[in-house]
Amino acid sequence: MTRKLLSGDEAVARGAWEAGCRVAAAYPGTPSTEILEAISTYKDIYSEWSTNEKVALEVALGASISGARALAAMKHVGLNVAADPFFSAAYIGALGGFVIVTADDPGLHSSQNEQDNRFYGLMARVPVLCPSNSQECRDYTMRAFAISEEFDLPVLIRLTTRVAHSSGIVEVGERTEVPLKPYEKKVTKNAILPAFAKVRHVDLEKRIDRVAALSLQDEFNRIEPGSVDLGIISDGVCYHYAREVYPDASFLKLGMVWPFPGETVRRFAATVKELLVVEEVDPFIELQVRALGLKVTGKDRLPRTNEMSQRALRLSMGLPAEKAEPETGVTARPPALCPGCPHTGIYFALQNQKAFIGGDIGCYTLGVMPPHSGMDTCVDMGASITVAHGTDKALGATDQRPHVAIIGDSTFFHSGVTGLINTVYNKSNVITIISDNRTTGMTGHQNHPGTGQTLMGSFGTIIKPEEIAKACGVKTVVVVDPYKVKETRKVVRELLAKKEPAVIVNRRACALHIRLHNPPFKVDPEKCDGCKTCIRLGCPALSFDNGKAHITATTCVGCGMCADVCPEGAISASPKSNVQSPKSSAGSPS
């Protein structure tokens, strides 16, 4: 055995490689993104960024049906997108081991909700493993492939943010090559027609019953004797929090939370005077303990929201806890788009337009904040176009506002395309703005169909949103450069005034992705009249002091958008800069 320092995500990837996984697919999403990024370093595994989570799960399912070990990874809301095939996959089962990893985000560090995906296993009748550290991430992943093949079931591994992103020492081994299982056409198993599915459902219940016996073994669900006064049942990272707060208590550490190990819980409860369940977000374990008829303390005292921690546990249980002191010397500021962010230009163009603007998931969601106030809604991936369509149909001619959708390029490929087709088919007047920054920005610059580069590094066809829009039947399709702020504003406002369906592709590469570090622009105080037009860009490099605009040189990346909008010509490039203002020479969109 060799020892490595690995994050939970990296340990899942290592476990998949050692277990002989051949195919892995995902759509990036915090906190699961690093699983596929790590898997892509193992060249024995075919890996890909799929266009969305449903596609990723179906890719892995197809590989499993073909006899190969396969893995699909996604953040918690991604499993909502993949829920349709996920439930069917339980009926079909697995020829090659089939593992699905969901990374939940308690505390909503980068998500729109904090759902608890352990319930997905219960609903779909799929075993759920909850590792608590990096070593278990590696071990459980390897074991999950074996369980999947032994019981003809997909297996769900549920991580949370702290398990996915924290690092620990992991004992690792070498890869075991697992031969492809011979493919055999079995339509009664793999084609979920009603007549076949009825039979498969009965069989699914039998398969999951057999796994239930496995959950009673110490391999996953382990009793750790301690004081008889208090017995704690916990899973995931919460086990470690509870261990630190109650070092002398007895513990039942759950690694397989479903099928629920009821007999083990009863046996443990009989050894202690009081039961406490410590878990994050929802009372998944607690509900099942109560269903056994056992008296237990849980969410009646512990929080149902936000991340669990030692401090949160102490406060909830009435124990002394250190006071959390805010850091000093750090200037508070609201979240904002980055300096040089190309989304800035399009939001500037939308300001004061009295439009209904359906928003979407990505960096540009920050456009909901002042000074942009550029979104009315944010629901889920792809909902910008469909929500705007719903508004258009509900209000129609009674609403004089333009109905606009703004969506990023990766999100457009993820689930915006179907919404756009729907608006064309159902004759909406929605104006769709695809803010194409040439990458998947918020999750760390992953490639997508619009870049043409795959996760494994090969280059292929670049799929252009404007060509998709035209193929969908949109007649007015315009590409603009958001660094040409005035020009972009002119195009956007002309189209908004027409109240006709149109697509605007707002294209300029993410300033962080291409590492835009041009010399900073500067303000001539003699020319600045304090009109604050540049301030409306919301650029973090811009401020207003003593009645004049000011550019912080250490923050400015030299994009020149401020110079383009300044009506007095008071902002210009540094004399040392070889970058000219986009007012005169931004050039064509990249």
> Residue 426 CA to chain centroid, in angstroms?
30
The Cα–Cα gap between 471 and 199 comes to: 42
Q: Would you tell me how many other CB atoms lie within 10 Å of the CB of residue 398? A: 6
**Residue 460 burial (CB count, 10 A):** 10
* Alpha-carbon separation of residue 358 from 318, 355, 402, 420, 508 (angstroms): 45, 10, 11, 13, 21
Q: Which two tokens stand for residue 204?
A: 């699914």
Contacts of 108 (CB under 8 A, 6+ apart): 114
Q: What is the Cβ-side half-sphere exposure of residue 376, based on CA atoms within 13 angstroms?
A: 17
Cα–Cα distance for residue pair 490/152, rounded to 1 Å: 59
DSSP notation for 53-87 = HHHHHHHHHHHHHTT--EEEEEEHHHHHHTHHHHH
Residues 6+ apart with CB under 8 A from 500: 429, 431, 476
Q: Is 566 annotated as a binding residue?
A: yes
Main-chain dihedrals φ then ψ at residue 214, nearest 5 degrees: -65, -35
Q: Is 21 annotated as a binding residue?
A: no
Residue 378 marked ligand-binding: no
- Which H helix or E strand runs over 4? strand 2-7
Q: Is 472 annotated as a binding residue?
A: no
Asked if residue 531 belongs to a known ligand binding site, the reply is: yes
Two structure tokens written together for 493? 């406002």
Cβ neighbours, 10 Å, residue 554:
7
Helix (H), strand (E) counts: the chain: 22, 23
d(CA 167, CA 309): 17
d(CA 238, CA 255): 12
Residue 539 assigned ligand-binding role: yes
| Residue stretches of the annotated binding site | 528, 531, 534, 539, 556, 559, 562, 566
| Residue stretches of the annotated binding site for [4Fe-4S] cluster | 528, 531, 534, 539, 556, 559, 562, 566
